[in-house]
Chains A and B, each alone.
Chain A
Amino acid sequence: MRTRDLSYWLFLAPVLLALTLVVIIPMLLGVYYSFTSWNGIVTGGFVGLQNYIDLLKDERFLASLWFTTKFSVVSVILINFIGLSLALIVTSRIKSSKLLRTTFFMPNLIGGLILGFIWQFIFVKVFANIGQLMGIESLQGWLATTETGFWGLVILMSWQMAGYIMVIYIAYLEGLPQEVLEAAQLDCRNEYQRFRYVVFPLVAPAFTVSMFLTLSNTFKLYDQNLSLTAGGPYNSTEMVAMEIFKTAFTQNAFAYAQAKAVVFFVIVALVALVQVYINKRREVEM
C-alpha cells in the first residue's frame, strides 16, 4: 500500500510541479504585489491595503464589473437555452443530424479574436447595408452605442459557445436510459410533459457543468471584447478583464491592477462555487 502511495505521488509530481510553478507561485506573488506600489518597472514601497481601498471608489472598475455581470447573466441564459434547444433538435430523429451537429459546433473552432473581427464587419457593414436597403433605421450604427455594443457581445458569445454547450447536452441526452424514456412515453400526456418531468431532471448534471463553463467563460471574457468593441464607445462596453489590463498597461498602475485582479478572482471563484452548489442540489439520482 505504501509503495502504491509513493508511485501515486511520483506520477502526480510533474503536474504538481507545473501547477505550483505556473499557477500557485504567480498567484501568491500577485497577491504580494497588490500590497505595493509597483509600476511595472520598479517594485515600489509597501502600501498596505491602499490599493483595495482605492478600488472601492473606482467608478470605472465598478462600472465594468456591473457590465460584466449583466452580460454574464444574459449570456448564460441565452447560451444554455440555445445549446439545449440545438441538442434536442439534433438528438430527435431527423435527417442530416450529423451534418447539423458539425455545423452548430463549428463557430467554437474559430479563435475569439478573429470571430470578433468577423462580427464587427457584420454588425458595422452588413447590418448598415441591410438597414439601408430595407429602410430599417435601428440597424445603423451598430457597436456605436452602449446598447448595441452589449447585444453585439451577447450575440457573438452565444453564437460561439452554444455549439459547445450543445455537445455537453447531447452527451447527457444520449446517455439517458431507454427504458425510462419509453416508460415516460406511456405515462406522459404529451412531449412537453415528458421533457418537463422526465428529461429535464435527468439532464440536471449537464446544467451544472455547462452553466459553470458559460459562467466562468463569460466572466473572464477578454479577446472577443477587445476585437469587437475594444471597450468603446467611451469605455462603456469594457469588461473587467479588459479594465484590469488597461489599468496595468496604459495607466502603468501595475500593483493597483493586481489588486483588482485579486478581487476579480475572488468574485469569479465565489460565483462559480455558489452556482455549482445550487445546481448540485437540484440533481437527481438515476
Chain B
Amino acid sequence: MKDYGLRKGLLVSMMLSAGALAACGAEEETTAATAGEDEVTVDVFQFKVEFKEQFETLAAQYEEENPGVNIEVTTVGGGEDYGAALRSRFASGDEPSIFNIGGPQDVADWKANLTDLTDTEAANAALDGTLEGVTVESEVLGLPYNQEGYGFIYNTRILEEAGVDPASITDLASLEAAVEKIDSQKEDLGLDAVFALPGKETWVTGLHLSNTFLAPEFDNNVLTAFDAPEVTFEYGEAFKKILDLQNEYSVQPTLSLDYSMQVEELFSMERVAIIQQGNWVYGSIAGIDQELADSGIGMIPIPVDGYDEGGLPVGVPMYWAVNSEENPEVVEASKAFLDWMYTSEAGKTAVLEDFKFIPAYEGYDTSKISDPMSKAIYDAAEAGETIGWVFMGYPTGWGQDQLGADIQKYLSGEANWEEVTESAKTAWSTDRSN
C-alpha cells in the first residue's frame, strides 16, 4: 500500500514537470527549424487595429513577391496598452523585429534597440518635419506611419441651416458668434447642444486641446517641447476661453461624456453640430451614416486667441522602428519591407486606398484621398498652415494624468483655472529636473 502511494506520487510529479519542460523545449525547436533554412522571418509587432486586416493582406502580397521572406504580424492596440505589451515582449526575450515608437521619450527609452534608418528610401521620401521626433544626432530612428490631424469637426447641413458659414470662423470672436447663433436655434435644428465635450477622455483635453495652445510656446516643435525645462502657459487664457466655450455649450454633464458617446451617439446622429476630434473618426461616422461621413462634414482649426499663425495640428501618431538586436539578415529584410510598403507602386496604392492613410511621404497621388477630413488636413499640410504635435514631447504621463485630470477638476468646479495651470507647471518642472 505504501509503495503504491509512493509510485503514484512520483508519477504525478514526473508528469507535471515533464509537461512544464516540454513547453520550453518545443519553442526552441521551431525557431531552430526556421533559422536553419534560407528563410528570414520578420516579426512585426504593431499597434494600429484599424488597419490590421489591410496590413496583413499587404504583408501576404509581399511574401508572395519575395519568397524566403516570412512576415508575421501581431497587433495589440485599440483598448489594449501597446506600450505595456511591447515591454513584456522584450522582457520575455521574444523580441519583435519591427515595432512602434511614439516620439522623443520612446526614442530615449528604447535607444539601445533602434536601428539607424537614415539610408532607407522611405526615410528620404518622408515629408519635411515628419522625422523631427525620431532624429537623434542626424540618425533617423523611425519611419512615420502616416499623418493625422484634428480640429473642430462640424456638420455642414446644420451650420447651413443655422445660417453660419464655416469659412467665416477664423478667430475666437467669430467662433463665439457662430456658436451663439446655432445655440439660439437649437430647438428648430433638433440639436441637444452645439458641442459635445468628452470631459471623461483626458487625452482629448489634456493632449489634443492643450497641444493647440502649447505648440506656439514651443515653436511648433516637438523636440523644443521635449527639451523644455518648464512650461509657462503663454496662451493659457486663450486655452481657458475655448475650454469654457465648449463646456458651456456642450451636452451635460461633460465629465461622464466619453469618446463613443461624443462621436457615435451625438455627432453621427446629428444631435450636436461641432466636436473637437481628428480624421480618425471617419470610420466610426461612416459605420453609422456613410453619406454624412463622405459629404456632410468639414474641419476647421481651433482658434488660439491672440495668435495668428494657427492652423490644424498635424502630426505623426506612431513610427516604425527596426530592432537592432536582431541578426543582420532580419534587420535588412525589415528595412526592405518598410521601404517597399511606402515607396513601391503596390505599396503606395495600399497605403492610400486600403489603409486610407494621409501619406507622410512624397510621391503619392493625393487626389485619391476621398474623405473630407483627410483632404482638409492634407490641403492644410500642403499650404503649410499647420501647427505641430508637441504633446509627443510632454513629460511621460503629464498630458493625460496631470493636466487632463486637473482639467476634469476644473470642469467639475473643484479647482479654478489658476490652480490647474500652477499644478501643471510644477509637475512639468519637477519631472524635467529629475
Chain A residues in the interface with B (C-beta under 8 A): 3-4, 6-8, 10-11, 13-14, 17-18, 39-42, 124, 140-145, 230, 232-235, 246, 249-252
Given A11-B12, A252-B109, check contact A235 B84 (CB 8 Å). Answer: no
Q: Looking at A3, A39, A142, A144, which has the most chain B CB atoms within 10 Å of its CB? A: A144
CA of A219 to CA of B112, assembled, Å:
39
A selection of 7 A-B contacts at a CB cut-off of 8 Å is A8-B9, A40-B87, A41-B112, A233-B408, A233-B409, A234-B405, A251-B396
Q: Please tell me which one of the listed residues B8, B252, B401, B412 contacts residue A235 in the complex, with CB atoms under 8 A apart.
A: B401
Contact A41 B109 (CB under 8 A): yes
CB–CB B408/A232 < 8 A: yes
Q: Is B13 an interface residue (CB 8 A)?
A: yes
Number of B positions contacting A (CB below 8 A): 38
Binding site for A on B (CB under 8 A): 2-3, 5-6, 8-10, 12-13, 16-17, 81, 83-84, 87, 90-91, 109-110, 112, 199-200, 202, 252-253, 255-256, 396-397, 400-401, 405-406, 408-409, 411-412, 414
Contact, CB under 8 Å: B9 / A7: yes
Q: How far is the CA of A144 from the CA of B409 in the complex (A)?
A: 10
Q: How far is the CA of A10 from the CA of B5 in the complex (A)?
A: 10
Q: A39-B109, A250-B396 are in contact. Are A10 and B13 (CB under 8 A)?
A: yes
Chain B CB within 10 A, most for which of A3, A6, A7, A124: A7
Q: How many A-B residue pairs have CB under 8 A?
A: 92
Known: A233-B255, A246-B397, A249-B84. 13 other contacts (CB 8 A): A4-B5, A7-B9, A10-B6, A10-B10, A13-B13, A17-B16, A18-B16, A41-B90, A141-B256, A142-B256, A144-B253, A233-B200, A252-B109
User: Which of chain A's residues have a CB closer than 8 A to the CB of B8?
Assistant: 7
Q: Which residue of B lies closest to A40 (CB)?
A: B87
Chain B residues whose C-beta falls within 8 Å of the C-beta of A10 in the assembled complex: 6, 9-10, 12-13
Task: Find chain B residues with CB under 8 A from A17 CB.
Answer: 13, 16-17
Q: Which of A11, A143, A232, A234 contacts B9 (CB 8 A)?
A: A11
| Nearest-CB residue, chain B, relative to A41 | B109
- Bound: A17/B411 CA distance, A: 53
Assembly CA distance A245 to B202 (angstroms):
17
B87 to chain A, nearest CB (A): 5
- Contact residues in B for A142 (Cβ distance below 8 Å): 256
> Could you tell me if B109 and A124 are in contact, using CB atoms closer than 8 angstroms?
no
CB-CB under 8 A from B84, the residues of chain A are: 249
Which residues from chain A contact B409 at a C-beta distance below 8 Å?
233-234
Q: Which residues of B contact A11 (CB under 8 A)?
A: 5, 9, 12-13
The smallest C-beta distance from B245 to any residue of chain A, in angstroms, reads 20
Chain A residues with CB under 8 Å of B408's CB are 232-234
Q: Does A234 lie within 8 Å of B406, measured CB to CB?
A: yes
Nearest first, the 8 A-B pairs at minimum CB distance are A10-B9, A141-B253, A144-B255, A234-B408, A14-B16, A144-B256, A251-B397, A234-B405
Minimum C-beta distance from A7 to chain B (A)? 4
Given the interface contacts A7-B6, A17-B17, does A249 sit within 8 Å of B81 by beta carbon?
Answer: yes
Quick one: given A4-B2, A13-B13, A251-B396, are A234 and B414 in contact (CB under 8 Å)? yes
A8: shortest Cβ distance to chain B, in Å? 8
Partner of B401, one of A4, A7, A39, A250: A250
**Contact in complex: B13, A232 (CB < 8 Å):** no
Residues of A within 8 A of B199 (CB): 233
How long is the Cα–Cα vector from A11 to B412 in the complex, in angstroms?
A: 59
The distance in angstroms between the C-alpha atoms of A250 and B396, with both chains bound, is: 7
Task: Give the chain A neighbours of B252 by CB distance below 8 A.
Answer: 141
Cα-based distance from A250 to B112 in the complex (angstroms): 21
Closest to B16 in A: A14
Establish whether residues A249 and B83, one from each chain, have CB atoms under 8 Å apart when the complex forms: yes
Given contacts A7-B9, A41-B87, A249-B83, contact A124 B397 (CB under 8 A): no
Query: A42 contacts which of B2, B5, B112 (Cβ < 8 Å)?
Result: B112
Contact status of A246 and B401, CB under 8 A, knowing A4-B2, A40-B87, A41-B109: yes
Nearest chain B CB to A2 CB, angstrom units: 10
Cβ contacts under 8 Å, B406 to chain A = 234
In the assembled complex, the CB of A151 is this many whole angstroms from the nearest CB of chain B, namely 14
Indicate the member of A8, A11, A42 with the most B CB atoms within 10 Å: A11
The answer to whether B109 and A14 touch across the interface, beta carbons within 8 angstroms, is no
Q: Give the contacting residue for A144; candidates B10, B400, B412; CB below 8 A.
A: B412
The reply to whether A3 and B6 form a contact with Cβ atoms under 8 Å apart is yes
Q: How far is the CA of A141 from the CA of B411 in the complex (A)?
A: 13
Q: Which of A4, A39, A143 contacts B256 (CB 8 A)?
A: A143
B405: A residues at CB distance < 8 A: 232-235
Q: CA–CA, A142 to B84, complex, Å?
A: 31
Q: Which of A18, A40, A230, A234 has the most CB of B within 10 A?
A: A234
**Bound complex: CA of A18 vs CA of B13, how far in Å?**
11
Flag if B6 contacts A6 (CB, 8 Å).
yes
- Min CB distance, A124 to chain B, in Å? 5
Q: Distance (Å) between the CB of B85 and the closest chain A CB?
A: 10
Q: When the two chains form their complex, are residues B412 and A3 in contact, meaning their CB atoms are under 8 A apart?
A: no
CA distance A10 to B12 in the complex (A): 9
Separation of A252 and B399 alpha carbons in the complex (Å): 14
Distance in angstroms between the alpha carbons of A17 and B16 in the assembled complex: 10
Closest to A246 in B: B401
Q: Chain B: which residue is nearest A123 at the CB level?
A: B256
B398 to chain A minimum Cβ distance, whole angstroms, is: 9
B196, chain A: closest CB distance, angstroms: 14
A41-B256 CB under 8 A given contacts A249-B84, A251-B397, A251-B401: no
